[in-house]
Amino acid sequence: MAAVKVSNFVFECEATDGAARCGVLATPRGDIRTPAFMPVGTAATVKALTMDMVRDAGADIILGNTYHLMLRPGAERIHRLGGLHHFCGWDGPILTDSGGFQVFSLAALARKTEEGVTFQSHIDGSRHLLTPERSIEIQADLLGADISMQFDECTPFPATHEEAQSSMELSLRWAERSRAAFGEREDQALFGIVQGSVFEDLRAHSAKALTGMGFDGYAVGGLAVGEGFDAMVQTLGHTVPHLPADKPRYLMGVGRPVDIVEAVARGIDMFDCVIPTRSGRHGQAWSDAGPVNLKKACFAEDQRPLDETLDCPASRDYACAYLHHLVRANEYLGAILLSWHNVAYFENLMARIRTAIREGRLDALRQQISGA
Amino acid sequence: MAAVKVSNFVFECEATDGAARCGVLATPRGDIRTPAFMPVGTAATVKALTMDMVRDAGADIILGNTYHLMLRPGAERIHRLGGLHHFCGWDGPILTDSGGFQVFSLAALARKTEEGVTFQSHIDGSRHLLTPERSIEIQADLLGADISMQFDECTPFPATHEEAQSSMELSLRWAERSRAAFGEREDQALFGIVQGSVFEDLRAHSAKALTGMGFDGYAVGGLAVGEGFDAMVQTLGHTVPHLPADKPRYLMGVGRPVDIVEAVARGIDMFDCVIPTRSGRHGQAWSDAGPVNLKKACFAEDQRPLDETLDCPASRDYACAYLHHLVRANEYLGAILLSWHNVAYFENLMARIRTAIREGRLDALRQQISGA
């Protein structure tokens, strides 16, 4: 009799609407309702918010960044302080990225070899080596992530077919090493990451090879890197059908509401993006019609709240005129309230998406979300 | 039979300990427990905090700044938006300063005449005139302050006796005009401001003249402007005995915990200061031993909270190691949590002061507060 793999991560699909799925990813630290949006907690904080605000806004899970945390305050230090959950005061599930993306986008002198990537910290210039084994050690052992990501290379865009293939194949070899380093764990999960740029054959190959390695979930990486909305949606259409139906699918680093609904319609279950908090720090409030800039003079005496249908104090209890004033005066509270509203808007959008899927009317919801 | 002046502001002294008083200033918008500390909400926000956080930290009353608000978003605008309480979401009492201090410290080209002060906005260079009548109109009629302050000149330090006398006498003439402009109001109060620099005879003259005009409370202005701790305490000792016992006394712009306890011991009932929030934005946490800089390396792995005896999440629920990380990473949440803790520390200090007065042991508490 073959050994049965035991995992306390169970993905249950409760309803479908076309390719879209509504379900729950059960984890030892609580259920993640899918499709799910994960606010980004880069440096062990979802910027400008307390964790209570994040929770109240409807988030089931947050994301942490391996690259930032390994440099400051340091992965070993967080481990000594009781792990990332205890450190930042979030007791729900946390997904960490592998550091593969930031090491190329933020670090200085990043140098890639088969072994991994050497780089200099953008904070203090110190030298580091990140490998699949070290990334998994940081994520799973030191930070204590509930969901770790394989170490990969986010293929730059544009890339020739040859470049994309070579990069994707390296990511597959790093996937195998990540998988081996992770081993078998009951209470932690590991996701693989499909690469292949915008090339259908490469995406299919990557997806199938990863599926053969047996991950707890599958991410689509290397999108939202400049290829544009149409190419992103088309690539999802190529990729998702090659992923196993019984595992969650995660589109990394995406995106705007319009990106999210279209990706959900193609079978994606999980998202993360800095948009809600970054927009919030820049005076923008999200709605179905896209982002609005509260700095605009038209809000100076607008007594309406941002969205009184949202069960979030920032959306419901403050007049746009007050938010306009705070943004103009560059007050912390402007960033706080707009970030809070934006996270609440994104989480509420996911709740509306889940309901729409259950009721078989996702198409109608897609029509309401502006491409702005 | 003389007409009885009706006011819904009633100051009741419940206990004394030497010159120190513990009591309540009842206002139409709620009781202010005295001695009281007023967090400063300069631009219609107590910086980096929501009003819920300010309330939860124990504040009964906050302060708003006439100078800042008249320039941005504008006093008439706030009036059209329903007044300052509605605008900023604080339903307790608000005291506004008169603009007299900031107009000299922040504005450009401030020019003083008997009429008032002309100046240019530090924000957009626009020209303005602030007079006793206009200050009262802004504070009481447009912002809707519960407690307005007379328009005065904060005498610069150092000043010769002649300069201080001339400045104090101008403030007295402006006090009369402020008093006349304010008239009689049941649901709003007006405080006079004693000036006279560090000169005993001038302070006495100012206090007696103001008392004769009949204010709802008396502030001591022109201190904490560079004269030093000893001169401040000495001047309070000269001034307070000339103020009526049945009205609240307010020491403007003060101060550190050590300043507060010493002023309370000399009969002061109300305080305001930017220290808790400014320190919070600069990585400092207050305690009885003075401010500590969370940036220091010694906090990197310190698992203790700032002060678990305080009923404030920021003081109780976060390790110093996490706060250290947030401050080092320059995260908004560092400023939020440290400002929150500091306001809670100051409000709790006032509660300890009130209890100490009731129990006749203010001297013992004074020994605990470091001059650091």
User: For residue B321, which residues of chain A lie inside 8 Å, CB to CB?
Assistant: 73, 77, 81, 87
Q: Name which residue leads in pLDDT, A96 or A1.
A: A96
Q: Which of B49, B73, B335 sits opposite A325 (nearest CB)?
A: B73
- CA B132 to chain CA centroid, Å, is 20
Segments of chain A assigned E as strands: 10-17, 20-27, 30-34, 36-41, 62-64, 94-96, 108-112, 117-120, 127-130, 147-149, 189-194, 217-220, 249-251, 270-273, 284-287, 290-293
CB B326 to CB A45 under 8 A? yes
Instruction: Quote the pLDDT of residue A368.
Output: 94
Q: From CA B44, how far away is CA B28, in angstroms rounded?
A: 20
Is residue B75's pLDDT more than 60?
yes
CATH code for B10-273?
Answer: 3.20.20.105
| Candidates A97, A146, A216, A259; catalytic one | A97
| Coil, strand or helix at A147 | strand
As to burial, measured by CB atoms within 10 angstroms (0-12 exposed, 13-18 middle, 19+ buried), residue A298 is: exposed
Is residue A1's pLDDT more than 70?
no
CB A331 to CB B47 under 8 A? yes
Find, among B123, B128, B73, B57, the residue nearest to B307 by Cα: B57
Instruction: Quote the pLDDT of residue B109.
Output: 86
Taking all residues of chain A, what is their mean pLDDT, rounded to a whole number? Answer: 96
Instruction: Quote the pLDDT of residue B1.
Output: 46
B331 touches chain A (CB under 8 A): yes
Residue in B with minimal Cα distance to A85: B322
Q: What is the pLDDT of residues A50-84, one digit of tens each?
A: 999 999 999 999 999 999 999 999 999 999 999 99
Instruction: Quote the pLDDT of residue A3.
Output: 54
- CA B287 to chain CA centroid, Å, is 20
Instruction: Quote the pLDDT of residue A104.
Output: 85
Q: If residue A200 lies in a helix (H) or strand (E), which one and from where to where?
A: helix A200-213
Residue A308 C-alpha, separation from nearest chain B C-alpha, in angstroms: 16
Q: Which of B303, B319, B335 sits opposite A332 (nearest CB)?
A: B335
Q: What is the pLDDT of residues A231-243, one digit of tens each?
A: 999 999 999 999 9
Is A47 in contact with A277 (CB distance < 8 Å)?
yes
Taking domain A11-277, whether its CATH number is 3.20.20.105 is answered by yes
A48 touches chain B (CB under 8 A): yes
User: For residue A50, which residues of chain B lie inside 8 Å, CB to CB?
Assistant: 313, 333, 336-337
Radius of gyration of chain B (CA): 20
Structure token pair of residue B57: 């930290």
Q: From CA B323, how far away is CA B299, in angstroms rounded?
A: 8
Taking all residues of chain B, what is their mean pLDDT, rounded to a whole number? Answer: 96
Find, among B223, B245, B247, B225, the residue nearest to B234 by Cα: B223
Radius of gyration of chain A (CA): 20
Is residue A2's pLDDT more than 60?
no
B304 touches chain A (CB under 8 A): no
The mean pLDDT of B253-258, rounded to a whole number, is 97
Angle (CA) B122-B123-B128 rounded to 5° is 65
Q: What is the pLDDT of residues B179-229, one digit of tens each?
A: 999 999 999 999 999 999 999 999 999 999 999 999 999 999 999 999 999
Of A118-127, A201-210, B352-361, the poorest mean pLDDT is in A118-127
User: For residue A74, which residues of chain B lie inside 8 Å, CB to CB?
Assistant: none
User: For residue B82, which residues of chain A lie inside 8 Å, CB to CB?
Assistant: 303
Q: From CA B288, how far away is CA B291, in angstroms rounded?
A: 8
Phi (first) and psi of residue A273, to 5 degrees: -165, 145
The mean pLDDT of B301-323, rounded to a whole number, is 98
DSSP assignment, residue B139?
Answer: I
Q: What is the pLDDT of residues B84-114, one digit of tens each?
A: 999 999 999 999 999 989 998 888 889 999 9
CB A72 to CB B325 under 8 A? yes
Strand B117-120 and strand B127-130: the pairing is antiparallel
A80 touches chain B (CB under 8 A): yes
| Banded pLDDT at B364 (limits 50, 70, 90) | very high
Q: What is the pLDDT of residues B144-193, one digit of tens each?
A: 999 999 999 999 999 999 999 999 999 999 999 999 999 999 999 999 99
Q: Which of A52, A72, A335 sits opposite B328 (nearest CB)?
A: A72
User: For residue A88, which residues of chain B lie inside 8 Å, CB to CB?
Assistant: 322
Tell me the residue type at A29: R
Q: In chain A, where are the structural domains located?
A: 11-277
| pLDDT above 90 coverage of chain A, percent | 95
User: For residue A81, which residues of chain B lie inside 8 Å, CB to CB?
Assistant: 301, 303, 319, 321-322
Q: What is the pLDDT of residues A91-117, one digit of tens each?
A: 999 999 999 899 988 888 899 999 999
Sole residue written with tokens 């701790």: B229
| Coil, strand or helix at A246 | coil
Instruction: Quote the pLDDT of residue B106.
Output: 87
Which of A81, A91, A278 has the highest number of chain B CBs within 10 A, making it the mutation to test binding with B?
A81
Is residue B4's pLDDT more than 70?
no
Sequence-distant (≥ 6) Cβ neighbours of residue A363 within 8 angstroms: A18, A265
ipTM above 0.90, yes or no: yes
Catalytic residues of B: 97, 272
The mean pLDDT of B25-38, rounded to a whole number, is 98
Q: From CA A269, how far away is CA A253, in angstroms rounded?
A: 13
Instruction: Quote the pLDDT of residue B5.
Output: 65
Q: From CA A48, how far away is CA A126, in angstroms rounded?
A: 28
Q: What is the pLDDT of residues B277-309, one digit of tens each?
A: 999 999 999 999 999 999 999 999 999 999 999
Residue in B with minimal Cα distance to A336: B48
Residue in A with minimal Cα distance to B77: A301
Sequence-distant (≥ 6) Cβ neighbours of residue A256 within 8 angstroms: A273, A275, A290
Instruction: Quote the pLDDT of residue A6.
Output: 78
Sequence-distant (≥ 6) Cβ neighbours of residue B181 within 8 angstroms: B132, B133, B136, B137
CB B48 to CB A77 under 8 A? no
Find, among B279, B284, B251, B282, the residue nearest to B350 by Cα: B251
CB A81 to CB B301 under 8 A? yes
